[in-house]
Structure 1
Amino acid sequence: MAFRVVLIENEVTIKVKLNNLIVTKEGEDIWIPLDDISMIVLDNLSSMFSARLLCQLSEQGIGLMICNQKHLPTGYYSSYDNHSRASKVIGYQIEKSKEYYEQLWKDIVTVKIQNQSKAYLRLTSDQEGTRAIKEFSSEIINGDQSNREAHAAKVYFNLLMGTSFSRGNEDILLNSGLDYGYAVLRRYIARVCVGYGLNTQIGIHHKNEYNRFNLVDDLMEPLRPMIDIVAYESMKNEEYFTAEHRRQLVNILNMKILYRNKKMFVCNMIENYVEQFASLIMERCENIVFPDIDGFIVEELDGL
């Protein structure tokens, strides 16, 4: 199983040879086995690569995320269809009832809020605030029709950042980190969903007809606190959103988490998590083991 997420920040030439990715930087070649790579994040507009490389990446199910001149993820390239029974899986997605999805959404929101409370405790040691956030997880009804998710998020971010904090305010530094980290996470989950034959437009709760990633936006909700932890810890005393911050956020996928009693890379955990969802939809298992933020291990890692 591929486990490496490669971040390319410098002007390089990228090619493939003997089933290896070769990154040439200042005359030096860096060889990385393609079998080890799950996704490449290209954060340099001057880097050069070929159509042959794109073909090889799609054949091996390796995603390629492109960032613009502001270092923001703007595009994602992946294989068109690398699952032999995609139409069968989509059939199961379509056939599920509204009630089925509402129960599943309740489970997702419950875990998301619980993970937010754990992330908050980890970052602040505030027991009272942690209880206030976690309390919302016991009030959720099917489909979260009372919108406990939004109420919990407001309390969570206000306690963490102050009552003046707004997720829509581009002038707040932390929002830059959150947006970047969420975008990386979103693209990675999209890649994995395609690999398991899931149609990312058919969501559990998100139903926007203009959104190609409704399902991805549903599945990523319990994982968002991982981004919150790294963004907050690395940026809380900073004035600018730097390359080091971006490197740390991309490297979340290369960090470790305890999941299903095993210590694994976050990217491998996501594959396991999405595989369980596909199995659940196809009635091959009875439930999903959602990621627990308590098992998340933040590590310092280097990009290229």
Structure 2
Amino acid sequence: MAWRGLHLTQPARLSLADRQLCVRQDAGEVRLALEDVAWIVVDTPQATLSSALMSACMEAGIVLIFTDERHTPSGVALPFHRHHRQGAVARLQVDVKEGLKKRLWQVIVRRKIRNQAVSLSICGCDGAETLEQIARHVEPGDPDNVEARAARFYWARLFADFVRDDESDLRNKLLNYGYAVVRAGVARALVASGLLPAFGLKHDGAANAFNLADDLVEPFRPFVDVLARKTLGDRVDGNGELTLEDRRAMAGALLLNGKVGDARVSLLVGAENAAVSLCRALETEKPAGLELPELERDP
């Protein structure tokens, strides 16, 4: 089972050698077993990848994440669908009843808000109990947009003088980097489970190939928020650019631990559990079976 990620920030030549990922840099050469690797972040314009390696990564189910000149994740490469029940799972998605989609979205939003409550508690901020109360008011489909009300309350307490859509704010740069990595991990898990990422439960953008990933990633976001807050340290004014250390920290977001049932697992495994349990929930029409990672107060 894949368990590790690779973050490339220095010039490198990546190729396939003896069914292994070969990374050549000025300092030397490193080889990694493909079956151990789940994601690769190519965070440098001076990296080359052979077509043989790209093909092998797709076959192994490795997601590739590429960044732009500002070191912001800008795209992903995923394998075509290879699940043995691809057609059957796709039919489940296409035929899902609107009521079930709404109840699944209720489960997702409640877990997200409860994880936000824990995030505030971990970061020493007030408001955790209020968010716990808010989560109880989420109805199927969230017709009252409780998620948005909770978000306004949450961000005002997690960061001072913070605007979520300000792309120049270092805090948003940290968050967006981590979110992109985790979103790619969720998309990878969906494809591996035979699900079509374009068909969402709540998100339904016609130009979005990852609507379902954007649904399922919501409860994972507070994990990234805590990591971003810790990585930010005493840089409280929101100024500055991402450092190499910042990018390394956020690139490892999928290695963060959470609780799923009685087990403590990485977010990488949590994404796989979420995707598999979503298939099961669609098949049984029981949204309570959707397993989403729980942020722990004392990880």
Question: Is 1:182 matched with 2:179?
Answer: yes
Alignment of 1:155-166 (within 5 A): 155-162=153-160, 164-166=161-163
- Distance in 2 (CA, whole Å) between partners of 1:94 and 1:154 is 33
Runs (5+) with no aligned partner, structure 1: 298-304
- Matched with 1:264 is 265
Q: SS where residue 30 of structure 2 aligns? A: strand
- Distance in 1 (CA, whole Å) between partners of 2:157 and 2:270 is 29
The one of 126, 129, 132 aligned to 1:131: 129
Q: SS where residue 48 of structure 1 aligns? A: strand
**In the alignment, residue 202 of structure 1 is paired with which amino acid?**
F
Q: Residues 200 and 295 from structure 1, CA distance in 2 versus in 1: closer, same or farther, beyond 3 angstroms?
A: farther
- Matched with 2:107 is 107
The 8 Å contact of residues 100 and 285 in structure 2, kept in 1 or not, is answered as no
Alignment of 1:212-231 (within 5 A): 212-231=209-228
**In the alignment, residue 179 of structure 1 is paired with which amino acid?**
N
- Matched with 1:122 is 122
> TM (normalized to structure 1)?
0.92
Q: SS where residue 217 of structure 1 aligns? A: helix
What per-residue deviation string (whole Å, max 9, x for no partner) do you get for residues 140-182 of structure 1?
11110000000000000001213x3211112322111111111
What per-residue deviation string (whole Å, max 9, x for no partner) do you get for residues 169-219 of structure 1?
123221111111111111111111111111111111111111111111110
The CA deviation at 1:284 is 8.8
- Distance in 1 (CA, whole Å) between partners of 2:225 and 2:90 is 32
Q: Residues 111 and 257 from structure 1, CA distance in 2 versus in 1: closer, same or farther, beyond 3 angstroms?
A: closer
- Distance in 2 (CA, whole Å) between partners of 1:139 and 1:99 is 18
Question: Is 1:146 matched with 2:147?
Answer: no
Aligned length: 294
- Distance in 2 (CA, whole Å) between partners of 1:146 and 1:284 is 24
Q: SS where residue 237 of structure 1 aligns? A: coil
The CA deviation at 1:265 is 2.6
The 8 Å contact of residues 226 and 296 in structure 1, kept in 2 or not, is answered as no
- Distance in 2 (CA, whole Å) between partners of 1:262 and 1:19 is 33
- Distance in 1 (CA, whole Å) between partners of 2:30 and 2:123 is 37
What per-residue deviation string (whole Å, max 9, x for no partner) do you get for residues 69-109 of structure 1?
11111121121122132121110111111111111111111
What per-residue deviation string (whole Å, max 9, x for no partner) do you get for residues 41-89 of structure 1?
1111111111111111111111111111111111211211221321211
The CA deviation at 1:236 is 4.2
**In the alignment, residue 234 of structure 1 is paired with which amino acid?**
T
**In the alignment, residue 139 of structure 2 is paired with which amino acid?**
I
- Matched with 2:90 is 90
The 8 Å contact of residues 181 and 253 in structure 2, kept in 1 or not, is answered as no
The 8 Å contact of residues 40 and 62 in structure 2, kept in 1 or not, is answered as yes
Q: SS where residue 158 of structure 1 aligns? A: helix
- Distance in 1 (CA, whole Å) between partners of 2:262 and 2:130 is 29
- Matched with 2:277 is 276
The range that moved more, 194-203 or 282-291, is 282-291
Q: Residues 54 and 246 from structure 1, CA distance in 2 versus in 1: closer, same or farther, beyond 3 angstroms?
A: same
The one of 162, 169, 175 aligned to 1:172: 169
- Distance in 1 (CA, whole Å) between partners of 2:69 and 2:289 is 42
